């Protein structure tokens, strides 16, 4: 498979999307080796190639759909789609040919994009030492490489660090990368991210809140659309949290929170702060995408049988184990107002999930409410509320005051009251709050796997015991055919 991916990568490696402004991209796809050499002759060429990597991240097989809500939320039993593929996916039938193809697409696109990042890194090593923003270029590509490997590890490998993980690709070549242990994969992911953290230190100045985006060099503007310093620190918090290293998870979550650069939105802003655009407050890292609106319209906004992704809902008289309406009642008083419920619109027998849909663009011919017209269209990959909940869990057993503080801040920003003095914060409460907060964003499945949770299957109306047979997705057969 790696040979196959390399051949595909050669064709598209220099496919670039030039960021002329926050919403002005040029797609250029040089194919020959000569043009590729010219591509990396100056800073502009490197920046074009880097923006091409970000353009690849918003493909539907990656964060433009499947790794956001298209596959991950079906696995988590939060969204349902009655297509043949997703019906089998919801039942964890990984032998189904359509499911195998869907997973192969994710794997292939991820490693292609890793190849694009590695191509930039190799050319930086050869020709980039004198570039003004060498550190930013290298740091960003290391961060993207680590992020993609981390998500492939979370999908396709067990949590046991002694077991077989995934290949870790560090070169742009047709070399077949060996399978590593999960523990070695983690070591390499963390090493890439820690180096990136050092290289991206300039972002501490560039990303002060509120952001002005008035830097003379365009590459240093709109840093939330780059894998920036705080994105890397947030990824480190995720990685350590997934790995079970709560001390480092808490430390890195606090680094991002204490920067003050990503304040939580107000409750009245919750309804649309992620609606197809990057929040100027909470978004730590997201990718620009002009195509994401159409994807959302086709699969989330407009109801179509066998295509739409909708939250499990009992409006038709059905009785699911954990419909969204039940989820959002957990651990709260009946009179409490959770502003996240505005993300769901009930319509007879089904509900629509609009949290990530730019419905203003679809309903008002592009007219946005005051202020939102300056938001960047695209896909949010990491936002700050998640870090508050990681910190709450990280400090739960060592500093209850801190844990409660982070938990209360996140809940209150969503319209819920702080815990009373009589209430004890528990791991289950944090788990339930994480589920509510990250609903639809592709992260809940990983949290279930991390904790080895039994699965409340809405699709099958039964509870499935936790098992690697469910939580470890099969690596595509093609990967082994090229070894």
In the three-class reduction of DSSP (H, G, I as helix; E, B as strand; rest coil), residue 350 is classed as strand
Confidence band (pLDDT; 50, 70, 90) for 321?
A: very high
In the three-class reduction of DSSP (H, G, I as helix; E, B as strand; rest coil), residue 179 is classed as strand
Tokens at 144, concatenated: 């993207």
Tell me what percent of the residues of the chain surpass a pLDDT of 90: 85
Is the pLDDT score of 84 beyond 70?
yes
Is the pLDDT score of 31 beyond 90?
no
Confidence band (pLDDT; 50, 70, 90) for 36?
A: low
**What's the confidence (pLDDT) of residue 176?**
86
Q: Tell me the average pLDDT across 302-313.
A: 96
**What's the confidence (pLDDT) of residue 348?**
85
Q: Tell me the average pLDDT across 67-90.
A: 98
Tokens at 59, concatenated: 């493909």
Lowest-pLDDT range of 30-34, 35-39, 85-89, 397-401: 30-34
Tokens at 25, concatenated: 């991209």
Residue among 188, 32, 14, 8 at smallest CA distance from 116? 14
**What's the confidence (pLDDT) of residue 130?**
92
Is the pLDDT score of 483 beyond 90?
no
With contact defined as beta carbons under 8 Å apart, do 124 and 207 qualify?
no
Gyration radius of the chain's alpha carbons: 22
- Can you tell me the distance from the alpha carbon of 73 to that of 445, in angstroms, rounded to the nearest whole number? 7
Is the pLDDT score of 28 beyond 50?
no
- Report the predicted TM-score, pTM, of the whole model to 2 decimal places: 0.93
Q: Tell me the average pLDDT across 205-231.
A: 96
Tens of pLDDT, residue by residue over 275-289, are 999 999 999 999 999
User: In this structure, how many other beta carbons lie within 10 angstroms of the beta carbon of residue 450?
Assistant: 15
**What's the confidence (pLDDT) of residue 1?**
58
Is the pLDDT score of 20 beyond 80?
no
Is the pLDDT score of 329 beyond 90?
yes
Could you tell me how many helices (H) and strands (E) the chain has, helices first?
20, 13
Residue among 58, 53, 249, 209 at smallest CA distance from 137? 53
Lowest-pLDDT range of 96-100, 330-334, 415-419, 438-442: 330-334
**What's the confidence (pLDDT) of residue 350?**
93
**What's the confidence (pLDDT) of residue 317?**
79
Q: Output 71 or 34, whichever has higher pLDDT.
A: 71
Q: Output 146 or 10, whichever has higher pLDDT.
A: 146
Q: Tell me the average pLDDT across 57-80.
A: 98
**What's the confidence (pLDDT) of residue 437?**
98
Q: Output 452 or 128, whichever has higher pLDDT.
A: 452
**What's the confidence (pLDDT) of residue 482?**
65
Please, what is the average pLDDT of the chain?
92
Burial class (CB in 10 A: 0-12, 13-18, 19+), 364: exposed
Is the pLDDT score of 344 beyond 80?
yes
Tokens at 443, concatenated: 């992260």
Render 250-319 in DSSP notation, one character per residue: HHHHHHHHHT-SSPPPPGGGTTTTTSSEE-TTTEEEEEE-SSHHHHHIIIIIS--TTT--EE---TTS--
**What's the confidence (pLDDT) of residue 464?**
98
**What's the confidence (pLDDT) of residue 64?**
98
Residue among 476, 474, 480, 478 at smallest CA distance from 157? 474
Q: Output 254 or 22, whichever has higher pLDDT.
A: 254
């Amino acid at each position: 498979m790696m040979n196959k991916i390399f051949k595909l990568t050669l064709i598209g490696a220099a496919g670039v999307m030039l960021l002329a402004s926050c919403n002005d991209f040029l797609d250029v796809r040089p194919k020959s080796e000569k043009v590729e050499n010219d591509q990396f002759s100056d800073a502009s060429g490197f920046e074009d190639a880097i923006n091409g990597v970000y353009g690849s991240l918003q493909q539907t097989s990656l964060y433009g759909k499947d790794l956001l809500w298209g596959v991950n939320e079906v696995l988590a039993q939060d969204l349902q789609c009655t297509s043949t593929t997703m019906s089998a996916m919801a039942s964890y039938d990984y032998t189904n040919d359509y499911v195998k193809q869907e997973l192969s697409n994710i794997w292939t696109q991820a490693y292609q994009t890793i190849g694009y990042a590695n191509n930039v890194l190799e050319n930086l090593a050869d020709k980039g030492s004198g570039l003004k923003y060498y550190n930013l270029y290298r740091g960003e590509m290391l961060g993207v490489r680590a992020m993609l490997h981390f998500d492939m590890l979370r999908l396709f490998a067990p949590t046991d660090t002694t077991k077989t993980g995934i290949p870790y690709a560090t070169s742009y070549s047709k070399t077949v990368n060996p399978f590593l242990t999960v523990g070695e994969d983690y070591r390499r992911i963390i090493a890439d991210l820690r180096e990136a953290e050092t290289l991206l230190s300039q972002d501490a100045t560039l990303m002060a809140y509120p952001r002005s985006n008035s830097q003379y060099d365009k590459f240093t503007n709109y840093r939330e659309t780059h894998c920036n310093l705080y994105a890397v620190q947030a990824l480190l918090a995720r990685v350590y949290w997934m790995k079970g290293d709560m001390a480092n998870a808490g430390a890195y979550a606090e680094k991002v929170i204490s920067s003050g650069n990503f304040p939580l939105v107000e409750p009245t802003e919750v309804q649309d702060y992620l609606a197809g655009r990057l929040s100027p407050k909470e978004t730590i890292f997201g990718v620009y995408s002009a195509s994401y609106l159409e994807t959302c319209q086709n699969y989330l906004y407009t109801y179509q049988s066998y295509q739409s992704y909708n939250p499990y809902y009992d409006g038709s008289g059905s009785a699911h184990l954990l419909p969204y309406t039940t989820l959002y009642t957990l651990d709260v008083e009946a009179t409490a107002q959770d502003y996240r419920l505005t993300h769901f619109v009930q319509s007879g027998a089904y509900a629509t999930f609009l949290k990530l849909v730019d419905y203003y663009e679809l309903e008002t011919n592009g007219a946005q409410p005051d202020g939102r017209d300056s938001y960047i269209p695209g896909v949010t990959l990491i936002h700050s509320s998640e870090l508050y909940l990681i910190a709450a869990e990280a400090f739960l057993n060592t500093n209850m005051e801190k844990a409660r503080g982070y938990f209360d801040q996140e809940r209150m920003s969503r319209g819920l009251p702080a815990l009373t003095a009589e209430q004890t914060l528990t791991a289950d409460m944090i788990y339930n709050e994480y589920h509510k907060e990250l609903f639809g964003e592709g992260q809940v499945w990983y949290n279930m796997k991390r904790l080895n949770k039994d699965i409340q299957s809405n699709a099958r109306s039964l509870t499935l015991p936790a098992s690697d047979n469910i939580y470890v997705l099969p690596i595509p057969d093609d990967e082994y055919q090229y070894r």
